[in-house]
Structure formats: C-alpha cells, structure tokens
C-alpha cells in the first residue's frame, strides 16, 4: 500500500519558504538555537503542528514534539523529525526539510484516512547544530541519556548555563535523570545529502547505511621565534614547518585510505594557528586541529596512530617539540538499522525511483536516537552539494520525493509488529 500521492508538494514547499523567512535581518538563513529568532520559528512550528491536529508538547530536553495518536498505543511510537536551528548564514533545508516533511507525512495520513497502529511523533530536536555552549545535538543527547551534568553546566558567552537555557526553551533538565524512553520502535530522518554524490550520479534517493564517527585532534608544536632574515635555514626551530608536514600527511593518508576501500574516510586540518604570526619572524608555535570522519572504527584508530607517529617525525625534522597531541572529542560510527534501510529500499523500488546506499559524513540527531531505537536516514540531492550556506538548495521535486519515501516507509514500518 502507498499513500505517497497524499503528500502535497505545494504545502510542504510553502512551509519551507515560510520558515526560511523567519531569519535574522540581513543574514539569511539564520535561526541560532536559544535565540529570539529560533523561538519565533518554534512558535510558528507549534501552530503548524496544532493545525495538523497534533498534540504538542516540549519534552524535558527542550525538544518540540507533535503526536498523532495511533489506534493501539501499546505497540509504541514511530518517530520522525530533525532540527529547525541553523548555523550562522545557513540554508533553508538543513534539518528543516526533515521536520517539515515529517509534518507533511502526518497530514498525508490524515488526508488519506489512514489510522496508524503506532503513535506517530514529529520532533524538532533542540540545537542540533554546534551551539554557543560548545556542543551539538543537545535535544537528541538529552532524549537518549547522553546529556551529562558537565554538559548542563556549560556556559554561553552571555554567561547563561545550558541547564537554564533548556529551561528557557520550555524543557525541564531536572527530569533528565529519569529513565530513558522505552516506547520508540523506529526513528526515520529525512535530510539533504550535504554532498555531491547523488547529484553527480543522477540518483534520486540516498539510503544511509551509516553515520560517520567524528574524532578531533589538537596538535601543538613548540619551536623558537627568531629573525627571519638572519637565522640560517639549517639552524631553525620552525613550528610552521612541522605543522605543514602534518597537514600534508593528513590529506594524503586519508585520501589513500579512502581509495583503498576502507569505507568512508575524510580528514581535514580546518584550524591552523601560527604564533607570533609575523612575516619576518620564524614561528614559535603552531597549532593544528584535525577533523577525522570514518565509517569504520578501526580506521579511525589506525589513522590517529599514524598521525601521531608523523607528528613525532615532524618535530624531529623541524627541530621543534611536539608539545601537545590531544583527542578533543571522539564518537564512534553509527550503523543504521538494517530492517529500516531495507524498508526504505523497498519503498524506493516500489515508487520507481533511483537509489544508492551511502554513508553520512555529517553528524545527525539520528546517530543519538540509534542508542534508543532502530534508526535510519533518507537523503535527497542538494545542488552542488552546498550546505551551511545561503546557496544551499533542494529542488521542490526532490523534497517531494523524499517526503513521499518517508511517508511510505513509516506506513510500512507501522504494518510490522
């Protein structure tokens, strides 16, 4: 059975455009979590949820949830959603498509006269993007028991702690010590790919089989600042030389491992700080932040070891000291539930759409939801792979296709136990 035809592309697109217009003036498209603009967007979502007949609430973690009651609540909850906050000067679709497509699915079930056995919950997770408190995925962390007391004590630049900020969003951090939810049977998240693969291969749907783990390293080399014109080349302790060696190695090694069939592998040196940062002074210190994303845990461990060994070699070659090699953060890859990816693939075939399996190199709320229940993701193409940018674009027909796959996947899962 398919009810994809009841998903209205014009209704979904109108919602996307309306929420996009709720943005900081002259900074499209900006709705930073915990901000006044974010709350305006949230208030609009509440009204849209209620217009669709959903019972609406804010949970203890500050997530906005709209529930469509099922005919047999004892079988549990099917959940779908994403996030409505953005990065500064972000896009109209990252996260937003997942929330609004899930809402459109709830309306499609009602329009089709379909009574699901499971309760259906549509979720706008709080602060999926990196927040001013220094962490991301705050709402999904909270829902899955991964928000710690240390997290709640974190402070924003305006000196508010995270606990108080969640309370301000309507949550109740004091209740985060209660047992985690046990009623969620499946979670589906629709999202733009944020990459170029689907577009370049001219495919309509990506079936996500894994969400990459993220490891971030902080590396510091310590040398000696000397005059750039009077210090002979063979007598220098140039920290920038060591850093350059590492940057080159990280790029080439990650590229080689990806080409060797090690799964999804990326590594980026996105932060390079040189001190004293003057054109006529040999750098005294160099700091490098390395972002590693892989689909296989053992690949991350091997890559970290290789980078550490290279750092020691780089220090020796440059006459500097490896003053710091620290793992700043480390999360393991998350596998999507095979039973749900199978459902999605079947739905795509039944709707005569093209597809491929793929790994998400970006983090998502689905990675945390997988700690509670079987979880899966559906990707739609986005133009030029652009994301986190005002030029981020998902064509209306791609948004509609993604929503139609989502609604049929939810229906198929509801028909199981």
Q: Are 123 and 81 in contact (CB under 8 A)?
A: yes
Residue 351 annotated as binding?
A: no
Identify the H or E element spanning 44.
Answer: helix 36-51
Q: Which two structure tokens, joined as six digits, stand for 316? A: 């020796």
Residue 151 annotated as binding?
A: no
Residue 388 annotated as binding?
A: yes
Cross-strand pairs, 81: 123
For residue 262, give every residue at least 6 positions away whose Cβ sits within 8 Å of its Cβ, in sequence order, or none. Answer: 294, 296, 299
| Distance (Å, whole) CA 349 – CA 10 | 24
Residue 191 annotated as binding?
A: yes
Distance spanning both ends of the chain, measured CA to CA? 17
363 φ, ψ to 5°? -80, 155
| Distance (Å, whole) CA 14 – CA 9 | 8
Residue 293 annotated as binding?
A: yes
| Distance (Å, whole) CA 116 – CA 199 | 34
Residue 94 annotated as binding?
A: yes
Identify the H or E element spanning 241.
Answer: helix 239-259
Is there a cis peptide before residue 276, judged by omega within 30 degrees of 0? yes
> Which of 402, 342, 142, 143 lies closest to 152 in space, CA to CA?
142
Burial zone of 57 (CB within 10 Å; 0-12 exposed, 13-18 middle, 19+ buried):
middle
Alpha-helix residue ranges (DSSP H) falling in 296-363: 297-318, 338-350
For residue 152, give every residue at least 6 positions away whose Cβ sits within 8 Å of its Cβ, in sequence order, or none. Answer: 161, 162, 163, 166, 173, 176
> Which of 366, 400, 353 lies closest to 187 in space, CA to CA?
366
Q: Is 32 helix (H, G, I), strand (E, B) or coil?
A: coil
Binding positions for Zn(2+) = 83, 94, 129, 191, 388
Binding positions for allantoate = 216, 280, 293
Binding positions = 83, 94, 129, 191, 216, 280, 293, 388
């Amino acid at each position: 059975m398919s009810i994809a035809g009841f998903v209205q592309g014009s209704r979904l697109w109108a919602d996307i455009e309306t929420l996009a217009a709720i943005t900081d003036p002259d900074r499209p498209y900006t709705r930073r979590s915990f901000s006044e603009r974010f709350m305006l967007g949230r208030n609009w979502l509440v009204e849209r949820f209620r217009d669709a007949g959903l019972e609406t609430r804010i949970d203890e973690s500050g997530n906005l949830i709209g529930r469509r009651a099922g005919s047999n609540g004892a079988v549990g909850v099917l959940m779908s959603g994403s996030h409505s906050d953005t990065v500064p000067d972000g896009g109209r679709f990252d996260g937003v498509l997942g929330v609004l497509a899930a809402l459109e699915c709830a309306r499609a079930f009602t329009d089709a006269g379909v009574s699901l056995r499971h309760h259906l919950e549509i979720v706008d997770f709080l602060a999926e993007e990196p927040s001013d408190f220094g962490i991301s995925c705050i709402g999904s962390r909270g829902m899955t028991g991964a928000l710690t007391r240390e997290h709640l004590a974190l402070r924003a630049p305006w000196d508010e702690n995270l606990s108080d900020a969640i309370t301000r969003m309507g949550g109740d951090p004091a209740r985060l010590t209660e047992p985690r939810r046990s009623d969620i049977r499946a979670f589906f998240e629709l999202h733009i790919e944020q990459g170029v693969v689907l577009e370049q291969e001219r495919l309509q749907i990506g079936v996500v089989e894994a969400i990459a783990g993220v490891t971030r390293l902080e590396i510091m080399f310590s040398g000696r600042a000397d005059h750039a014109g009077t210090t002979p080349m063979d007598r220098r302790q140039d920290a920038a030389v060591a850093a350059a060696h590492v940057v080159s190695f990280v790029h080439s090694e990650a590229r080689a491992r990806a080409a060797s069939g090690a799964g999804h592998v990326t590594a980026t040196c996105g932060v390079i700080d040189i001190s004293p940062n003057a054109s006529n002074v040999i750098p005294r210190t160099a700091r490098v932040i390395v972002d590693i994303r892989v689909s296989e845990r053992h690949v991350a461990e091997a890559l970290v070891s290789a980078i550490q060994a290279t750092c020691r070699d780089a220090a020796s070659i440059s006459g500097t000291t490896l003053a710091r090699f620290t793992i700043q953060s480390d999360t393991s890859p998350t596998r999507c539930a095979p039973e749900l990816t199978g459902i999605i693939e079947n739905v795509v075939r039944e709707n005569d759409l093209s597809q491929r399996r793929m790994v998400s190199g970006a983090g998502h709320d689905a990675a945390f939801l997988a700690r509670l229940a079987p979880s899966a993701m559906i990707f739609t193409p986005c133009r030029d792979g652009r994301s986190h940018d005002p030029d981020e674009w998902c064509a209306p027909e791609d948004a509609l296709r993604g929503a139609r796959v989502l609604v049929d996947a939810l229906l198929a899962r509801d028909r199981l136990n």
